[in-house]
Amino acid sequence: MIVTGDELDDTLPEGSEEASEQEQDELFEHYRIVADKNQSLLRVDKFLINRLQNVSRNRLQIAAEAGSILVNGKAVKSSYKVKPGDTVTVVLSHPPRDIELYPDDVPLDIVYEDDQLFVINKQAGLVVHPAYGHYRGTLVNGLVHIMYPDLIDQPIKSESIRPGLVHRIDKNTSGLVVVGKTEQAMTHLSKQFFDRTIERLYLALVWGDFSEESGTITGHIGRSLKDRKVMDVFPDGAHGKHAITHFKVLERFGYVTLIQCKLETGRTHQIRAHLKHIGHPLFNDETYGGNRVLKGTVFTKYKQFVENCFEMIPRHALHAKSLGFEHPTTGKFMFFESILPPDFQSVIEKWRAYASHQKLTIDQ
């Protein structure tokens, strides 16, 4: 029997239903299979091939080498013989979509590169990977251009190349992204995302002040039942997938606050949806209602001040500041930090000056 990763109980009925869990921002697949009571001894790679569609034996062997195939909770080699009642779990990097990719000369800030991976400091406004309406000029197109410099405007099949994504950030979010070059790197990184050992910190400028210095937001995230283009929070767990976001106040400016967010899960728009849910949408987040005056008076001067701030950062104020992970081949822990881009830094300085002026006026 095959079930999704969230259904990890120990009393599953026998059967042959198949399903996979594909994360939204973390691009991997997770399978859990319980061997039937009549299962004959069989290598785990062959066992999985018989049950998973479009998964090659080589891909499974790479997953085993990366420690991504577990039997009864312990990592095994591909030669392990599955026995009746064994619980087999596997995490695989998301297979490349069958599309043609063009190498595009996209300006990229490459923070780190070796034969296994890239770490990119993505600029706001850049789409991470090709999708409907954005088949050219994405971050992936730019990396293909770097990896295959001899190709000039010639499309190649995505299934035959890397780079490969294991997570992504929104078009208008700036900051750090790790991209695997090889199947081994992608599988190893995918396992780390699944195990929640990847360290990620975001900086966010949000509307409103907080009564506490830190906190945790918990609530399932899924497509809104009213608008499928946005995500919503379902505290009762009736829809969506489990999501956890930790936050910490860094600096208060009265009507807006600079906070740090740490993710435990990686759902689509997780930070944006969670912060709106608790009444603190991202500053200038058009999708989630942060692009209008939400706190403070609506007097002309203040309203003009806020609109000037919107012009300074014409996107939602979210930046993926740091990223830490174990290198797929060396096992060394790697940690990267990026500075705030000019638009984000400028709007913080403007709010800081405004808050200082307001405090000075009150003190006088």
Per-residue pLDDT of the chain in tens (364 residues, 90 and over written 9): 333 333 222 222 222 222 333 334 557 778 899 999 888 999 999 999 888 877 888 889 888 988 889 999 999 999 999 999 999 999 887 665 566 788 899 999 999 999 999 999 999 999 998 776 777 899 999 998 898 877 776 777 655 555 678 888 999 999 999 999 988 899 999 999 988 899 999 999 999 999 999 999 999 999 999 998 899 999 988 899 999 999 999 999 999 999 999 999 889 999 999 999 999 999 999 999 999 999 998 778 999 999 999 999 999 999 999 999 999 999 999 999 999 999 999 999 999 999 987 765 554 4
Identify the pLDDT of residue 171.
Answer: 94
Tell me which of 170, 232, 285, 343 is the catalytic residue. 170
Instruction: Say if CB 327 and CB 263 are below 8 A apart.
Output: no
- Identify the architecture of domain 199-363 in CATH: 2-Layer Sandwich (3.30)
Nearest to 162 by CA among 117, 99, 106: 117
> What are residue 151's phi and psi, to 5 degrees?
-80, 125
Q: Which two tokens stand for residue 359?
A: 């405090």
Reported pTM: 0.82
Q: What CA–CA distance (Å, rounded) separates 285 from 316? A: 4
CA distance 116 to 55: 22
Nearest to 255 by CA among 297, 284, 314, 313: 297
Q: Do domains 100-195 and 199-363 have the same CATH topology?
A: yes
As a whole number of angstroms, the distance between CA 102 and CA 140 comes to 9
Distance of alpha carbon 174 from alpha carbon 282, whole angstroms: 14
Based on the residue annotation, tell me whether 114 is a catalytic residue of this protein: no
CA distance 33 to 72: 10
CATH architecture of 2-93: Roll (3.10)
Nearest to 60 by CA among 40, 79, 42, 81: 79
* 100-195 is a CATH 3.30.2350.10 domain: yes
Domain boundaries, the chain: 2-93, 100-195, 199-363
